[in-house]
Amino acid sequence: MLTKKDKELIDAATKAISTRYRNDWQEVGSALRTRDGRIVTGVNIDAYIGRIAVCAEAIAIGRAITESGDHGIETIVAVRHPKPDEPGKIAVVSPCGICRELIHDYDAKARVIVPDNGRTPKVVTIGELLPNKYRRGNE
């Protein structure tokens, strides 16, 4: 069940992409709440060469670190804006595999808001999304 704070994050991510949406350039917005309570947003950065694109979650994490240091990720969410010819509305999406790795690296206890088969989104831990995460050496 989503809390009021979870719904605030979804609203913040939705506002970020609603304000910055550009078809084929910025389609995903993200919001995270740091462990000290701040909400930080980001939108994806697309590129002509797809492999240099940067996800919205990575932008939000980078902003959180840059703006006030690393205070951990309490909860994070990403939402996708439909293309002009697509039906539907802005909706919660799951983080890609690379973002799952990044979220886990920066806070192994982070909560992640994900879609739930057409129902109200739900909250899971990053460990549930990325079991048996790769670790270097004896970590």
Active-site residue set: 57
Three-state DSSP at 98 gives helix
Three-state DSSP at 10 gives helix
User: CA 58, CA 45: separation in Å to the nearest integer?
Assistant: 10
The amino acid that residue 96 corresponds to is: C
Q: What is the number of alpha carbons within 13 Å of residue 3 lying toward its C-beta? A: 9
